[in-house]
């Protein structure tokens, strides 16, 4: 079974802080993704990576950056957290993109106060 692990289930941070969300997958997948999910807005892609050190912007990259130094790990960084970044953050990985299925981690519910 594919295992995608996100470092925290719940996280509370303050406005202006730099926030790191970590994601690790154990299936040697090339492709990794970061989404946020908000009521009424569905799943929105923030960034994705198709190889080590490679990244592409998704639909809503503003205020975020990512890092992929190793194949199994994909980090999402909130450069200066703001209250409108309070959300559920979901990491996913896939072996084959775009045709292959994406497998999600458990999610991180992030609150910015």
Q: Are 64 and 94 in contact (CB under 8 A)?
A: no
Q: Does 50 bind other proteins (CB under 8 A)?
A: yes
To the nearest 10°, report the CA torsion of 36, 72, 95, 49.
50
Distance CA 5, CA 3 (A): 6
For other proteins, the closer of residues 59 and 79 by Cβ is 59
Q: Does 105 bind other proteins (CB under 8 A)?
A: yes
Q: Are 64 and 76 in contact (CB under 8 A)?
A: yes
Q: Does 99 bind other proteins (CB under 8 A)?
A: yes
Site size with other proteins, rule: CB under 8 A: 22
Give the shortest CB-106-to-other proteins separation in angstroms.
5
**Residue in 21, 76, 87, 107 binding other proteins, rule: CB under 8 A:** 107
Nearest to 108 by CA among 58, 36, 41: 36
User: Using CB under 8 A as the criterion, which residues of the chain lie in contact with other proteins when the complex forms?
Assistant: 31, 40-43, 45, 48, 50, 56, 58, 90, 97-107
């Amino acid at each position: 079974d594919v295992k995608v692990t996100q470092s925290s289930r719940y996280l509370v941070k303050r406005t202006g802080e730099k926030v790191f969300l970590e994601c690790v997958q154990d299936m040697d997948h090339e492709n990794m993704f970061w989404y946020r999910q908000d009521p009424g807005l569905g799943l929105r892609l923030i960034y994705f990576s198709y190889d080590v050190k490679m990244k592409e912007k998704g639909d809503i990259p503003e205020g975020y950056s990512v890092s992929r130094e190793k194949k199994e790990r994909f980090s999402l960084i909130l450069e200066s957290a703001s209250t409108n970044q309070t959300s559920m953050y979901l990491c996913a990985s896939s072996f084959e993109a775009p045709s292959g299925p994406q497998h999600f981690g458990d999610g991180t519910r992030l609150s910015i106060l």
